[in-house]
Amino acid sequence: MTETSKWHTLEHRFLRLRSNKLFETVVVAIIVLSALLIGAKTYALPPHLDDALRILDWAVTVFFLVEISVRFPVFFLVEISVRFLGDPDRRRFFHHGWNIFDTLIVVVSLLPIDNSDLALVGRLVRIFRVLRMVSIIPELRLLLNSLMAALPQLGYVALMMFIIFYIYAAFGATFFAEINPVLWGDIAHAMLTLFRIMTFEDWTDVMYETLSVHSWSWAYYLSFIFLSAFAFLNMIIGIVVGTMEQEHQRERDQRAADAGEPSLADIQAQLDELKALIRR
């Protein structure tokens, strides 16, 4: 067996272990157990149960260390493929953001800081271990990637919503402050009141209070609800759904490229070329 085939065989074995459904299920189960341990520690427990939870917590940390140790050789062998076997399509372990996140969580969890001034940091790190569920489950990664990709467009929508909030808050603080200073006393409290109205939290009580003094105030509330709860929130949902569809299409194109099949963009380009030839 040549040196190249040995590396690829070893790499293939680690990849099979890493992508094994049973192995992934066990990892997800351990992450769920870690989340339950975090919740259990918020209760006042007897000393023996507290000791048992501490042992389980260290067992979970050791398991995560083993899981990272399984994943790292896969990318280590991939890196060898890049450097020595001339395979340019491979990627390094620490070029993946989720691999960096998982490694930091595991490394910090191994530090003995439970009885030190950094005990709070240790607890926070263990809380963030629940986020490892995202790095394990591809569907959750896709959702998060879609949300991150939609942030630039959502930023403009959020800016427009802030402008609307500010205008309506200034208007409300001007006309309704004498009616209820707690809700409309200044622009900051008025914006909080508008957020309450946008979420439909007893907004009719707020409206009827001002309606008894200003009979036109119903138009103020209805127009704000139409803009914020209907128009802008639906716009946000549309942006997120559209970005998610783009991420799904990008993933399908990547799978097609890996399988050596034409992507949807390639098929569309070929159709456009055929249409152009027919028109000639």
- pLDDT the model gives residue 18: 61
- pLDDT the model gives residue 205: 92
Homologous superfamily (CATH) for 3-136: Voltage-gated potassium channels. Chain C (1.20.120.350)
Q: What is the DSSP string of 153-168?
A: HHHHHHHHHHHHHHHH
Q: Do residues 197 and 206 lie in contact, with contact meaning Cβ atoms separated by under 8 Å? A: yes
Which SS3 state, helix, strand or coil, does residue 66 take? helix
- 156 half-sphere exposure, CB direction, 13 A CA radius: 5
Residue 59 CA, chain-centre distance (Å), reads: 27
- pLDDT the model gives residue 95: 58
CA distance 85 to 258: 19
- pLDDT the model gives residue 210: 93
> What CATH number is given for 142-279 in this structure?
1.10.287.70
Domain boundaries, the chain: 3-136, 142-279
- pLDDT the model gives residue 172: 94
- pLDDT the model gives residue 85: 46
The residue type of 66 is: V
Q: Do residues 184 and 197 lie in contact, with contact meaning Cβ atoms separated by under 8 Å? A: no
- pLDDT the model gives residue 97: 64
CA distance 20 to 70: 12
The reply to whether 142-279 shares the fold of 3-136 is no
| Positions in the chain whose pLDDT score sits under 70 | 1-20, 70-99, 111-123, 125, 255-270, 280
- pLDDT the model gives residue 131: 75
